[in-house]
Structure 1
Amino acid sequence: MKKIVSAITILIIVTLSFNSVFAQSTGKITGKVIDQKTSETLIGATVSIQGTTIGAATDVDGHYALSGLKPGKYTIMVRYIGYQTKVISDVDVKAGAATTLDIAAVPSDSNALKEVVIKATYRQETVGALYAMQKNSVSISDGISSELIKRSPDKNTSDVLKRVSGTTIQDNKFVVVRGLSDRYNTASLDGAPLPSTEPNRKAFSFDIVPSNLIDNIIISKTATPDLPGDFAGGNVQILTKDIPDQNFVSVGISEGYNTQSTFKDFKSGYRATSDYFGFDDASRKLANNFPTTNQIILRQLTQKQTIQSISSLNNNFNIYNQKALPTQSYQVTIGDVKELGANKNRFGTTISLTYRNSQTVVPDYIQQYDFYNYDSQQNKFSTNIGALANFAYSFGKTKITLKNLYNRILDDQFTYRTGANTNTSTVDNHFYAYDMLEKGLFKSTLEGEHGIGEKNAKLKWNLGYSNIINDQPDQRKVNYAQYEQGGDYIAQVTNLTKENARLFSHLNENIYSGKIDYSMPVNLFKQSTFKVGVSSQYRDRNFDARFLGLIINSNDPNSEAVRLRPVQTLFGQNAINAGLYGLDEIQNLNDRYDANSFTNSGYAMLDSKFGEKVRVVYGLRVEKFDLDLATKDPTAKKVNMDNLDFLPSINFTYALTSKANFRASYSRTVARPEFRELANFAYYDYELLATVQGQPNLKRTQIDNADLRYEFYPSAGQIFSVSAFYKHFNNAIEPLTDNQTSSPTISYFNSPSAYVYGFELEARKTLDFIDESKFLKNTTAYANVSINRSKVTNLDDNTGRLEKTRPLVGQSPYVINAGLQHNELDNKLTLNVLFNRLGKRIFLVGGQTFPSVWEQPRNVLDFQVGYKVLKSRGEIKLSGSDVLNAKYNFIYELDGKPYVPSGEGYTYRAFKMGSNYSLSFNYTF
């Protein structure tokens, strides 16, 4: 709490220091100078205002800034050795604002006898530079810019990624590219790899990065040697803002309404004030002097010590009922840029604080299959706080950047479940779960870029550190059973079971990374760039879990009366003091493990142009991966992996016209198992009604990828593309359900062989081709469709599993994204309607008793209306997401039909999350 107050205080002080922003009467021109044919930034190009002595040289980022300009129109001149001089007119400068102008420089003809000057207007040059950046990407990729993000209702990166061609989001936060599940995708933030934020899967929770801090997102769907080799679907690269174009202070506030939650009854367990700020107040955690596992298992505690130990636990099982408050979101962002010295070196900062709180209710969470017939109500209290602090200093041909991200999420969920389990002698059950999860991520990246020599050679390095915590300080579960119709509900606390236990777990992971890249032009073919680099990443994880519980003394004559108490008083202090409860623990040394991995990589590549139309990027990446994992069980075999992978890739581009490309590529990549998938740790997931178990014998997956793509850019910001792809998997890693016993187990295994193929179509176009009216000129339609097919082959027919053939887990047969954007009143009014749908996909692989669980398709419709006010410095937005509120539905299917082996049902789980509407106001000083 004190840390938050201190951070807010510092932010307010910094904010007040920006009063000079409001007094500005001059403007500036900023932007980048790039090579028109490769989009490489040019270092040391001279940008000047014609007819004056005002000028600047581009830095190592290709960036320039011409400041202190009086309002008016200017003509800009750009000169660079080996390139034609370019003159851009009609560049409009406004007071207190930055005019952005990216410039595409044209290489000069070596046979030219005199200087050639190219003339263009501001609008022509802006369009031309955008064309160049769109068309000249090295690999087959898709992306989204900060400008498009502003026009959508998306509040975090996971929402934004749903708009990218061939991309969907699972569980509202995990990315799926080309229908391949999250484990086959990787991500980086500001050039450093992003760690897995989940304890039980390889996945990064993209909902923790606020969307308005993103500069751009690029998803590379084909590999190049300078990218990490552990992906098959896509490599998601997120860049946050560092040096802003101008000083600003931005304040945002948003209030949201959920149709099935807000102002409805909201039930929860114990709530501390600090929960509203993302931090547990430590009242749920085990005391420092709490008995050890051996003391409890070996019964070394006296009755007095047992009572003291039980009393030190948080035994507040009260159920608090209130009305769910509206979703609240607040953000303050500060940007500052200063020009230092005669050379106008730039120092910039971007600092942001975000806060979000939501209270959501899922009134009917249905699970009806096998012998389960359950109906649950879930109530989730969620707080998200985040901070971003980026600092950058650009001087001469050097730029040093320090980027920091901190995010903390506290999810406190209370579940009340009723229903029958026909596999037991009970008629009905009342189940209670108090479950709080704390997730924290701190990431810091120090990066340097240096221009070397006169030939645009560049040295780039970065050092990264990440820390992840994932804590469940006291997950509590209690079940009451009714043994005859109309009978009493009796607490099942006579022994320690999966429905009467308290889980205390702590995960801490540190990640250290570093890399260095060097690129330089070489005299090879028409134009070539040689690039070489090395990188390392070291991960170190510690995980600890304890399963504890209170066991009632059944021989005590008062025990039956206590078991009839409501859950609020079941563990009352009077019963504890009377010695009615003992303390027990389920001991499993595999529940605690230490793990580390070391990945060392090196690559070499050439980016070559053969004539005016052909470009080939080719090379080899080599990755050495070592992993060690050991549980606290001295008799258990340690897990070791030692892999050396040679990963070649080639990307071919042929410029059919100045607006169209044909691309082809081949690459080999890998997918490695996560720590949790390898750890022999068993965890009962009460939501899935199954035990999640690791598999120490997993192997890495090797993937061969091939792609074809045609892309056409009718005008800047518009695109039409068609892609086809094929992927072959050797030892694909998938989740597996073993349901031969009464308690299903979800584990992991290697499918021997699998393949995926499909095609994608993307189109973004203004509608003025229908009619040249102003209305249609201001309306843009876009759609991207992905059609995918996959099959797991060489399945073992001797396993007794119901399915002999099936698609890959998480692979959707189709993905549809579509939308309409419209601007009115000189862009003051913006409207955006977005649609998403994906085909049914396997959630879990089936076993001998049940086939696979399939997630059914659902339609998602979002919209946003924005209107700029107060001289366009402020904007009011009305947003709606998941307006149709379609049901999430997971069912058992065999041969495309619901599977009911015993007549009990086939719904693995089904629920609705409600539609969300929000009204927000943002103002930039």
Structure 2
Amino acid sequence: MIQGTSKGAATNVDGQYALSDLKAGSYTVIVKYVGYQSKSISDVVVKGGSATNLDVALAEASTQALKEVVIKATYRQASVASLYAVQKNSVSVSDGISSEIIKRSPDRTTGDVLKRVSGTTIQDNKFVVVRGLSDRYNNALLDGTPLPSTEPNRKAFSFDIVPSSLIDNITITKTASPDIPGDFAGGTVQIFTKDIPDQNFVTIGAGYSYNTASTFKNFQSGYRNTSDYFGFDGGARKLLNNFPTTDQIALRQLTPTQNIQAINSLNNNFNVYNKNAFLGQSYQFTLGNVQEIGENKNRFGTTIALTYRNAETTTPNIIRNYDDFNFLDNQYKFSTNVGVLANFGYSFGGTKITFKNLYNRIFDDVFTYRTGPNLGSSSNDNRFYAFDLVQKALLKSTLEGEHKIGSKNAKLNWNLGYSNIINDQPDQRKVNYIQQSAGDPYYASVTSIGKANTRFFSYLKEDIYSGKVDFRLPVKMFGQTSTFKVGGSSQYRDRRFDARFIGLVINTNDPNSSAILQRPIETLFGKNAINSGIYTLDEIPNPNDRYTAHSLTNAGYAMLDNKITEKFRAVYGLRVEQFDLKLDTKDLTQSQPRAQLKKTDLLPSINLTYNLTEKANLRAAYYRTLARPEFRELAPFSYYDYEILATQEGNKDLQRTLIDNFDLRYELYPSAGQIFSVSAFYKKFKNAIEPYIDDINSSTTISYFNRDAYVYGFEMEARKTLDFLSDQNFYKNTTVYANVSVTKSNVKNPELGNPLEKERPLVGQSPYVINGGIQHMAFNNKLSINALYNRLGRRIFYAGGSKLPSVWENPRDVIDLQLGYKILKNKGELKLAASDILNQQNAFYYDNDNSKTYTPNNGDRQFKRYMAGSTISLTFNYTF
């Protein structure tokens, strides 16, 4: 209620409320609830034309006597809506980042944002590593429902698919409780998007970026369609519906005329186009609308957002100097990202219904030009061309309900979710020219077909259906209010994957073959050569290259959030998960599924919290989790990765991993928005899933194996304003923060093949991660200055085998800077950002001298080394 007036409002099931039709001015707000101490907040300033957020926490009444107790506070103390408040009161150990912090960083994707979270790193700018554990040991939820793997060749969610501007907040839960899925070891990444806005608004934004290695410099690519700029191939690269089948091609069932017709139906434009790369572009439109309906002022909210990004980036002079290879790559990437968010929410009485939808599409078209010798093939020089388009799409819809039931404040929550993932490589083309001796001409390697010189067509589609229901009931135990919670969930995944390796083989008996093999890439497959019949369409037939898979996961749980004393809280319970997976290929000789896994697992957990003071917690936790093999890790499909010069394939005999976890954490929240925490953890893996490298032959193969392992480490996080140095505004408006994690892990390689390394750290695990930053606000919060720092210790990028040791990623210092200034009566904001200012080289190397540092002049070979350039961007946003 507004003190001194008759204006008031009841909260919804989440405790959210709206007091409308107030004139600009200063008010005192009184909050009351049965069984809780009332609170009065003074000096709440309401400005015309904008909403004022006021979040209030009530303390439970110490007695049921009728005497009224009112706790008084000021607006400054009570109004700060901080993610740390959620962390402090959460069941589990968690870390996160809010939309406010995201806006003040130059991060454009969720992948960029996640590297700021304590104990978290990112691989390839999109795959998350939590507590040193790679993407396969983490899971992701979007608005409460599971996110699928977006990759055809690994278990991973590509976090660059979700634009950062659509995020409300991100929380990484690092200890398990029975009410969250149990298939993780590092963390559960929970992404929340906006539903009911605080007020009506329309925001438009535009931005341009300059990259020092790419912009206005020569940019090479294959052919380009107008539709590419909107994230769609348009179908020009795909196989026609009536294209010959694998049997027709492999068994030579095509007539000469049919052979020529089939080849001409392919897109045979191998031209390499040159232009100057343009500025990176980004555009955004966001609409928020909230309406109060009826006398009870029920609220209906809508949030609509459209995002668009396009960039042309060059990674020049990528050095690959190891084993028999001495290659120099130049890589050019044309990328388009289109995102749509449409969220709707209706809140009435004790009920809230939301319908959240997200569609995002990434179009990455990469052209690679490689030169240099491969001593293993006795060639003096190579000229390798790769045209590689990958289209990814994510569609996700979630219908969710929250209901307050009865007079005891019981709650029923439910959700239904649908996700669709598309990963489409419509025509990956690879052609290599070989020069045998210096001075000799270059000949195209199209005299036979192999996975290194084919046209690769693949299509992955996965549908996920999920449902969940939770019921919570407050109960009295030990004189304290506790919560009993039960629930269940179900998830069904259905995947289809098709792949074909198609190529053109020249007839070497034709007298014109030698001249055609010396043609440049632009005319190698010219119409006159094709129509002469000199090329034969060929295919590598393998029924294992096409598979279907489905899995069903059913789960149920019961837990008690038990306040044993005023200061001691225990949350404990049991989760039961039943998993059933089957994977089939097109191999008709197999009467049974190629892979099958069926398990029922009991996953107990206990989280203990002791309030040392009102601002400090001591936490301890034990929990059992698991990690299941991904479809791709089980599938026998064999894929040649030309970037790492290796073939990847699955292992149908993989078992699921069981992990016993132990955590200890001290956390202090000195004031709103500030934190100091220290955590320690230990994880013991039974049947950990790790990559196995077979490199004893000329062609390297990557598969997977099960082996026991362990991980332990500690994390520290601190965020503090500098007001302890002085009470001047400069210090009050300056915040510094840092998070550091130190981790150690160990896994033993299988004895098969006599590997060089008998044991090693887990792939992707960094021994340390450092994040830091300083933030300053000036000129009445119109100017914001943010400087950010990131460094991670050397980690295994690529596991070693019998011939070569592991590949290590060298540490590098990354500094980002952003300046923001509000203009036009604070409705507009200009942001100037600089990313990776130092532009230190990315180095991946074999530590041949065992120095644990990158020493290329002392024997270390270079798996991959490059400099991606620094990026400077300018964006403008305006809110109506």
Q: 1:904 to 1:814 in 2, by over 3 A?
A: closer
Q: Does 1:305 align with 2:261?
A: no
What amino acid is the match of 2:492? Y
Deviation at 1:771, TM superposition (A): 3.0
State the Cα deviation string for residues 179-223 of structure 1 (Å, max 9, x = none). Answer: 111111111010101111111111111112121221111111100
1:585 to 539, 555, 578: 539
Cα displacement string for residues 87-142 of structure 1 (whole angstroms, at most 9, x for unaligned residues): 22211111110000001112112254511122222122225987753421111111
Match 1:469 to one of 422, 446, 464: 422
Distance in 1 (alpha carbons) for counterparts of 2:813 and 2:457: 38
Q: Give secondary structure in 2 for the equivalent of 1:810.
A: coil
One-letter code of the match for 1:349?
T
Deviations 1:418-469 (A, max 9, x none): 0000011211010001111111110000001110011111000000000111
* Structure 1 contact 85–117 (Cα < 8 Å) conserved: yes
Q: In structure 1, how many angstroms separate the alpha carbons of the residues matched to 2:453 and 2:82? A: 63
AA in 1 matched with 2:871: N
Partner of 2:231: 278
Q: Is the 1:135–1:661 Cα contact (8 Å) retained in structure 2?
A: yes
Q: Report the secondary structure of 1:66's partner residue.
A: coil
Runs of 5+ in structure 1 lacking a partner? 1-47
Note if 1:68 corresponds to 2:21: yes
1:128 and 1:392 map into 2 onto residues whose CA distance is: 21
**Counterpart position of 1:666:** 622
Secondary structure, counterpart of 2:165 in structure 1: helix
- 1:34 corresponding residue in structure 2: none
CA gap of 1:706–1:136, structure 2 versus 1, over 3 A, is: same
Aligned to 2:777: 823
**Does 2:737 match 1:782?**
yes
Partner of 1:566: 520
Tell me the equivalent position of 2:52: 99
Where do residues 868-879 of structure 1 align in structure 2 (5 Å cutoff)?
868-879=822-833
What per-residue deviation string (whole Å, max 9, x for no partner) do you get for residues 709-757 of structure 1?
1111111111111111111111111112110100111111112x11111
Distance in 2 between residues matched to 1:240 and 1:677, nearest whole Å: 31
Question: Residues 408, 113 of structure 1: CA spacing in aligned structure 2 closer, same or farther, 3 A cutoff?
Answer: closer
Alignment check: 8 A CA contact 1:891 1:898 kept:
no
Task: Map 1:361-760 onto structure 2 (within 5 A).
Answer: 361-525=314-478, 526-636=480-590, 638-751=594-707, 753-760=708-715
Return closer, same or farther for 1:559/1:131 CA change in 2, 3 Å cut-off: closer
Q: Which moved more, 1:265-274 or 1:83-92?
A: 83-92
Contact 1:754 1:790 in 2 (8 A): yes
Secondary structure of 1:124 counterpart: helix
Measured in 2, the distance between the counterparts of 1:129 and 1:916 equals 31
TM-score, normalised to structure 2's length? 0.98
Alpha-carbon distance in 1 for matches of 2:628, 2:852: 33
Measured against aligned partners, the alpha-carbon deviations of 1:668-691 in whole angstroms (never above 9, x if no partner) come to 000111101100010100011001
Q: Is contact 2:845–2:860 with CA below 8 Å preserved after alignment?
A: no
Q: CA deviation at 1:635?
A: 2.5
What are the Cα deviations for residues 828-881 of structure 1, in whole angstroms up to 9, with x where unaligned? Answer: 001000000001111222111111111111111101000000011000000011
2:283 aligned with 1:327: no
- Once the two structures are TM-superposed, the CA of residue 85 in structure 1 deviates from its matched residue by 2.0
Q: 2:764·2:796 contact (CA, 8 Å) conserved in 1?
A: yes
Q: CA deviation at 1:498?
A: 2.7
Aligned residues of 1:104 and 1:128 also touching (Cα < 8 A):
no
Sequence identity, in percent?
Answer: 67
Of the structure 1 ranges 820-829 and 79-88, higher mean CA displacement relative to structure 2 is found in: 79-88
SS of aligned partner of 2:274: strand
- Which of 848, 864, 868 is the aligned partner of 1:913? 868
Distance 1:128 1:315 in 2: 57
Opposite residue 644 of structure 2, the aligned amino acid is: L
> Contact 1:103/1:129 (CA < 8 Å) preserved in 2?
no
**Matched-pair contact (CA < 8 Å) for 1:104–1:129:** no
For residues 546 and 88 of structure 2, the distance between their equivalents in structure 1, rounded to whole angstroms, comes to 51
Query: 1:832-911 counterparts in 2 under 5 A?
Result: 832-893=786-847, 895-896=850-851, 906-911=861-866
CA distance in 1, matches of 2:476, 2:493: 40
Larger deviation, residues 111-120 vs 506-515? 111-120
Distance 1:601 1:132 in 2: 30
Aligned partners of 2:372, 2:711: CA distance in 1, in Å? 41
Q: 1:798 to 1:353 in 2, by over 3 A?
A: closer
Counterpart amino acid of residue 254 in structure 1? G
The letter of the residue matching 1:319 is V
Q: How far apart are residue 163 of structure 1 and its match?
A: 1.1
- Range 374-383 or range 904-913, more displaced: 904-913
For 1:420 and 1:493, the matched residues in 2 are separated by 18
Q: Among residues 33, 36, 53, which one is paired with 1:80 in the alignment? A: 33
Tell me, yes or no, if the aligned pair for 1:386 and 1:407 is still in contact at 8 Å.
Answer: yes
Deviates more, 1:770-779 or 1:578-587: 770-779
Contact 2:318 2:864 in 1 (8 A): yes
Distance in 1 (CA, whole Å) between partners of 2:69 and 2:770 is: 47
The letter for the 2-side match of 1:826 is N
* Equivalent-residue separation in structure 1 for 2:232 and 2:105 (angstroms): 31
Say what the alpha-carbon RMSD is for the aligned residues.
1.6
- DSSP 3-state at the match of 2:376: coil
Change (3 A) 1:871 1:899: closer
Task: Confirm whether residue 317 of structure 1 aligns to residue 270 of structure 2.
Answer: yes
SS of aligned partner of 2:261: helix
In 2, distance between residues paired with 1:554 and 1:806?
49
8 Å contact from structure 1 (residues 264, 323) kept in 2: yes
1:137–1:286 CA distance, 2 compared to 1 (3 A): same
Q: Secondary structure at the match of 2:498?
A: strand
CA distance in 2, matches of 1:490, 1:400: 65
Structure 1 pair 111–298 and aligned structure 2 pair: CA distance change class (3 A): closer
Runs of 4+ in 1 over 3 A off after TM superposition: 127-134, 795-799, 894-901
Whole-Å separation in 2 of the counterparts to 1:167 and 1:250: 31
Matched AA of 1:186: N
Counterpart in 2 of 1:43?
none
Q: Provide the rounded CA distance (Å) in 2 between the counterparts of 1:616 and 1:529.
A: 11
Task: Look up the match of 1:766.
Answer: 721
Query: What secondary structure, in the 3-state scheme, does the structure 2 residue paired with 1:310 have?
Result: helix
Which residue is equivalent to 2:140?
A: 187
Q: SS at the partner of 1:158?
A: helix
Change (3 A) 1:807 1:396: same
- SS of residue paired to 1:100: coil
Whether the aligned pair in 1 keeps the contact of 2:83 and 2:97 (CA below 8 Å) is no
Specify whether residues 798 and 553 from structure 1 end up closer, same or farther in structure 2 by C-alpha distance, changes over 3 A only.
Answer: closer
| Structure 2: distance between partners of 1:499 and 1:130 | 49
TM-score computed with the length of structure 1 as normaliser = 0.93
Q: Deviations over 1:587-643 (max 9, x none)?
A: 011000000010000011000111211011111101001100011112245210001
Deviations 1:556-604 (A, max 9, x none): 1111111111000000000111111111000011000000010000011
Instruction: Look up the match of 1:5.
Output: none
Alpha-carbon distance in structure 1 between the residues aligned to 2:307 and 2:687: 42
Question: Which moved further from structure 2: 849-858 or 567-576?
Answer: 849-858
Asked if the contact 2:55–2:80 (Cα under 8 Å) also holds between the matched residues in 1, the reply is no
In structure 2, how many angstroms separate the alpha carbons of the residues matched to 1:60 and 1:657? 29
* Conservation of the 8 A alpha-carbon contact between 2:87 and 2:94: no
What one-letter code is carried by the residue in structure 2 that aligns with 1:673? P
Residue among 122, 131, 150 paired with 1:169: 122
